């Protein structure tokens, strides 16, 4: 039997009950780690998917203060700007409040260009031609079982009224996963139902620029253009704009970061305790191995290999149970109105398994060092 085979036998076959409990604890820790890291990745996904060639302009006072629609043409005249679109946050939900998702009133022609929407069903022409139509993200369509041509009623506490939209297209974003969970309808449909004091105002402008390296200059030119006006602007890159929402939850995100690291420490302590208990039980066996010619480094390798195997198998098993767990969590979050995707990313799988293996090996360093220091005579005298 090889040293690796002996390590595998010691880790899982010598005391099966303890091994199974240790493995279950490791799997639970790994799954919790994957879940927390997936939540963090999903939270940052929107900012990570931001385009480098887009700038967002809003009212300098706050996001809820609108800007005049007339700003659009003036922004479009700035050198380097290739397209300007605008939108309003609608804040609607479908039938019940827990059926909440992101929905926006947009200018159809420019929005299709600026956000590079891709169609799985329907056509841009149909959406442009019918102001009572809408586009829905493909994940949103799956969530509610919507089909092309269905009518979607929305209820908004910001804009009360009878809002019904025919689905003219099912879309997704080439590089932006969040679009698959959004709904877009025509800004003109919203504008016509507003009181005179709110007509021809927009929530924000999204500006596409020819060269991302010019974003700093364009941002400065936009804000300088409207300085000292009744509606001053605040412009920033799309990534910075989206990160503002993430930073609003910084305490929550920091807590997730700390807990995910604490889980790894707990896993290391569990593995180290199991290995230490196993070593105490096998002291006479270690003495016998040393007596028949095993070197201290071989005994240490055996202990480290046990820890690494525990970590590897626990990490692999934890990753295997992660997809159904993430699917359940996605459904739970969707029920409460947070419909962002929770995919198991390949990079996270690799990092998790490698980290679990490394933690198992690291946790075994102290027991391994003790195993290599055992004196042969004292070990042989020791009774189990």
Instruction: Give yes or no: residues 203 and 129 share one domain.
Output: yes
Q: Is the pLDDT of residue 76 over 80?
A: yes
One domain, residues 214 and 150: yes
Q: Are residues 77 and 214 in the same domain?
A: yes
pLDDT (0 to 100) of residue 384: 46
Over residues 27-42, the mean pLDDT reads: 79
Domain boundary (231, 265, 296) is at 231
Residue after which a domain boundary falls, among 231, 263, 283: 231
Q: How far apart are alpha carbons 207 and 189 in whole angstroms? A: 22
Please tell me which residue, 345 or 91, carries the higher pLDDT value. 91
Higher pLDDT, 96 or 9: 96
Q: What is the mean pLDDT of residues 224-246?
A: 86
Beta bridge pairs of residue 89 = 104
Domain residues for the domain of 273 are 3-46+249-381
Least confident window among 22-36, 85-99, 155-169, 369-383: 369-383
Q: Distance (Å, rounded) from C-alpha 384 to C-alpha 382?
A: 7
327 in the same domain as 260:
yes
3-state helix, strand, coil in the chain (%, to 5): 55, 20, 25
Least Cα distance to 356 among 87, 22, 121 occurs for 22
Q: Quick one: 183 and 68 in the same domain?
A: yes
Tell me, what's the pLDDT at 169? 96
Residues 6+ apart with CB under 8 A from 197: none
Indicate the pTM of the whole model: 0.65
- Which residues fall within 8 angstroms of residue 229, CB to CB, at 6 or more apart? none
219 has pLDDT over 80: yes
Q: What is the mean pLDDT of the chain?
A: 80
- Please report the sign of the dihedral spanned by the C-alpha atoms of residue 140, residue 145, residue 150, residue 156: negative
Confidence of residue 176 (pLDDT cuts 50, 70, 90): confident
Domain presence at residue 344? yes
- Residues 264 and 26: their CA atoms lie apart, in Å, by 9
Distances (CA, A) of 154 to 11, 157, 178, 270, 348: 58, 10, 19, 51, 37
> Is the model more confident about 264 or about 2?
264
Q: Over 70: is that where the pLDDT of 293 sits? A: no
Question: Based on the domain organization, do 29 and 160 belong to the same domain?
Answer: no
At 191, the pLDDT band (50, 70, 90 cuts) reads very high
pLDDT value at position 50?
A: 61
**Residue 13 Cα to chain centre, angstroms:** 38
Query: Rounded to an integer, what is the distance from CA 368 to the centroid of its chain?
Result: 38
Distances (CA, A) of 278 to 3, 20, 262, 362, 366: 16, 14, 25, 16, 13
Residue 357 pLDDT > 50, yes or no? yes
In a domain, 51, yes or no: no
39 with 90, same domain: the answer is: no
Same domain flag for 179 and 287: no
Contact assessment for residue 165 and residue 133, using Cβ atoms and an 8 Å cutoff: yes
Q: Report yes or no on 239 lying in a domain.
A: no
Would you state the pLDDT for residue 75? Answer: 96
Mean pLDDT of 120-124: 94
Is 70 exceeded by the pLDDT of residue 248? no
Average pLDDT over residues 187-192: 93
Which residues have C-beta within 8 Å of that of residue 50, sequence separation ≥ 6? 176, 237, 238, 239, 241, 242
Higher confidence at residue 144 or residue 21? 144
pLDDT band at 283 (very low <50, low <70, confident <90, very high): low
Same structural domain, 112 and 86? yes
- Name the domain count of the chain: 2
* Lowest mean pLDDT, pick from 36-50, 79-93, 309-323: 36-50
Please, which pLDDT band fits residue 380 given cuts at 50, 70 and 90?
A: low
Residues 213 and 135 in one domain: yes
Q: What burial class does residue 105 get, using C-beta atoms within 10 Å of its C-beta: 0-12 exposed, 13-18 middle, 19+ buried?
A: buried
Contacts of residue 206, defined as CB under 8 A and 6 or more positions apart, other chains included, come to 54, 55, 56, 57, 84, 85, 86, 87, 114, 115, 238
Please report whether residue 242 resides in a domain: no
Is residue 290 one of the residues assigned to a domain?
yes
Has residue 316 got a pLDDT over 80? yes
Q: What is the DSSP letter of 150?
A: -
Whether 225 shows a pLDDT value over 50: the answer reads yes
Spatial neighbors of 331 by CB under 8 A, at least 6 apart, are none
| Greatest mean pLDDT range, 43-47, 65-69, 289-293, 319-323 | 65-69
Contact in structure between 30 and 210 (CB atoms under 8 Å): no
Looking at the fold, whether 27 and 170 belong to one and the same domain comes out as no
Identify whether residues 293 and 190 lie together within a single domain: no
> In this model, does residue 132 exceed pLDDT 80?
yes
Mean pLDDT of the region 167-185: 87
Q: Are 140 and 183 in contact (CB under 8 A)?
A: yes
Q: Does pLDDT of 25 surpass 50?
A: yes
What share of the chain has pLDDT > 90, as a percent?
Answer: 34
From 351, 355, 272, 265, select the one nearest 306 (Cα to Cα). 272
pLDDT the model gives residue 111: 93
Burial pattern 322-337, b for ≥16 Cβ within 10 A else e, equals beebbeebbeebbeee
Distance, CA of 362 to CA of 7 (rounded, Å) = 15
Query: Minimal CA–CA distance to 106: which of 169, 42, 196, 177?
Result: 169
């Amino acid at each position: 039997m090889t040293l690796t085979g002996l390590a595998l036998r010691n880790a899982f076959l010598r005391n099966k009950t303890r091994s199974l409990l240790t493995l279950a604890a490791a799997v639970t820790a790994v799954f919790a780690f994957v879940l927390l890291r997936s939540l963090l990745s999903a939270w940052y996904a929107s900012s990570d998917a931001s385009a480098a060639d887009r700038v967002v302009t809003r009212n300098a006072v706050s996001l809820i203060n609108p800007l005049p629609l007339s700003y659009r043409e003036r922004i479009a005249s700035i050198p380097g700007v290739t397209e300007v679109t605008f939108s309003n946050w609608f804040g609607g939900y479908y039938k019940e409040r827990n059926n909440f998702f992101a929905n926006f009133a947009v200018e159809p022609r420019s929005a299709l260009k600026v956000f590079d929407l891709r169609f799985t069903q329907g056509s841009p022409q149909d959406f442009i031609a019918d102001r009572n139509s809408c586009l829905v993200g493909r994940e949103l369509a799956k969530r509610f079982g919507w089909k092309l041509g269905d009518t979607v009623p929305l209820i908004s506490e910001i804009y009360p009224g009878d809002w019904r939209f025919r689905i003219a297209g099912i879309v997704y974003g080439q590089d932006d996963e969040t679009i698959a969970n959004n709904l877009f309808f025509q800004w003109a449909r919203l504008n016509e139902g507003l009181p005179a004091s709110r007509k021809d105002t927009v929530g924000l402008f999204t500006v596409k620029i020819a060269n991302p390296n010019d974003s700093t200059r364009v941002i400065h030119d936009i804000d300088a253009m409207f300085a000292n006006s009744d509606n001053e602007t605040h412009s920033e890159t799309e990534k910075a704009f989206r990160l503002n929402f993430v930073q609003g939850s910084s305490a929550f995100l920091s807590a997730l970061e700390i807990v995910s690291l604490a889980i790894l420490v707990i896993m290391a302590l569990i593995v180290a305790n199991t290995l230490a208990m196993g070593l105490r039980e096998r002291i006479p066996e270690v003495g016998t191995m040393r007596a028949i010619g095993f070197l201290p480094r071989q005994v240490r390798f055996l202990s480290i290999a046990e820890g690494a195997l525990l970590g590897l198998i626990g990490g692999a098993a934890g990753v295997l149970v992660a997809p159904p767990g993430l699917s359940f969590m996605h459904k739970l979050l969707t029920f409460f109105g947070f419909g962002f995707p929770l995919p198991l990313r390949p990079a996270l799988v690799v990092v998790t398994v490698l980290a679990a293996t490394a933690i198992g090996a690291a946790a075994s360093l102290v027991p391994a060092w003790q195993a290599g220091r055992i004196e042969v005579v004292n070990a042989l005298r020791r009774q189990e």
